[in-house]
Amino acid sequence: MINLKIISLFLIGITAVGCSSTQKITSSEPFPEDKTVQATLWVQNSAEYQALSHQAYETAKRSLSLPLEDSFWTASISQEETEAYMQLPPAIILDIDETVLDNSPFQARMIKQGTSYNSKDWKTWCMEANAEAVPGAVQFTQYAAEQGIQIFYISNRSYEVEDATRRNMIELGFPVSSEMDNIMLNGEEPGWNSSKIKRREIIEENYRVIMAFGDDLNDFFPAKNITQDKRDTYVTRYSDYFGRKWFILPNPVYGSWENAMFDFKDDLSQDERNAILQKRLDTRN
């Protein structure tokens, strides 16, 4: 027994030395109870997150000549039902958050502070204009702009942070127009709300939308308040759009999928939410 104890202590000593030679782990702070911890760690630390982002943008770049040569090509569901779009110049619409800008440091702050999303802290983060680009996004948008394609960004960031957002994106090298407002934010004009419908319509009146990029179904068609079943149905119906006309970026931290999971009930207690989450874990038995 004593011998075993000595051997165990010896092994612990070796492990400790092994750790200290690479990274010193000294903090014994309890880890916060936050459901976004693993997702945030994944975004910030996995090479796989970066690879998926490159995969989306590289696939789009490789196939960009197809829509340019084909005037029938549109990535807009509503434009498909018309004909006038065929004569219009090409444009690409991208969402901003978690599509071209990586806001995972904001989430990391929330976790470390033990708080959750709130508009005040979010505004502070946006005003810092210090987000990094999603891997591959700058290179793709620059390449597309060089081909004569008009780039638009439709984001549900508030119009109040437009200057900071523009500054952040220009510094990172994104094509931001000095002649027209190609960053269209929530509340900037009447009717420009989180559904994104009105803003897409304005672009569709003047451009043939050849590709769309987002981290949320709502970036491709109105999907903010549709049920989980309907979301699944749409994804099946439009499955051949993905990787061709629509490019989706990974966001395991937040999105409209969450509200759909809770059937859009925003007055649930923590216990009620936990009970729903238990039910949503599929064990096939």
Smallest distance, Å, CB 196 to Mg ion?
A: 10
* φ/ψ bin of 243: left (φ > 0), alpha (ψ from -120 to 50), beta (otherwise): left
Structure tokens at 266: 């925003």
Nearer to Mg ion, 73 or 140 (CB): 140
Give CA–CA dist 142/57, Å, rounded.
11
Smallest distance, Å, CB 282 to Mg ion?
A: 26
Nearer to Mg ion, 95 or 162 (CB): 95
- How many CA atoms are closer than 13 Å to the CA of 56, on its beta-carbon side? 29
Could you say whether residue 215 binds Mg ion (CB under 5 A)? Answer: yes
Nearer to Mg ion, 172 or 208 (CB): 172
- How many CA atoms are closer than 13 Å to the CA of 65, on its beta-carbon side? 1
Cα torsion for 122, 124, 125, 130, to the nearest 10°? Answer: 160
Nearer to Mg ion, 79 or 251 (CB): 251
Using the rule CB under 5 A, which residue among 56, 76, 97, 103 binds Mg ion? Answer: 97
Helices 119-128, 162-172: inter-axial angle, 10-degree rounding: 40
Stretch that binds Mg ion, among 95-103, 124-132, 137-145, 167-175 (CB under 5 A): 95-103
Nearer to Mg ion, 91 or 94 (CB): 94
**DSSP state, residue 32:** P
Smallest distance, Å, CB 51 to Mg ion?
A: 19
CA 185 to chain CA centroid, Å, is: 16
CA 168 to chain CA centroid, Å, is: 17
Give CA–CA dist 274/220, Å, rounded.
30
Smallest distance, Å, CB 216 to Mg ion?
A: 5
Stretch that binds Mg ion, among 135-143, 215-223, 226-234, 263-271 (CB under 5 A): 215-223
| Nearest position to Mg ion, beta carbon | 97
Could you say whether residue 95 binds Mg ion (CB under 5 A)? Answer: yes
Smallest distance, Å, CB 214 to Mg ion?
A: 6
Nearer to Mg ion, 73 or 220 (CB): 220
Stretch that binds Mg ion, among 69-77, 93-101, 119-127, 269-277 (CB under 5 A): 93-101
Stretch that binds Mg ion, among 72-80, 89-97, 197-205, 228-236 (CB under 5 A): 89-97
Using the rule CB under 5 A, which residue among 67, 94, 98, 256 binds Mg ion? Answer: 98
* φ/ψ bin of 249: left (φ > 0), alpha (ψ from -120 to 50), beta (otherwise): beta
Residues in binding contact with Mg ion, number by CB under 5 A: 4
Helices 119-128, 104-113: inter-axial angle, 10-degree rounding: 130
Stretch that binds Mg ion, among 11-19, 62-70, 96-104, 268-276 (CB under 5 A): 96-104
CA 23 to chain CA centroid, Å, is: 31
Nearer to Mg ion, 64 or 134 (CB): 134
Structure tokens at 154: 């439709």
The residues binding Mg ion (CB under 5 A) are 95, 97-98, 215
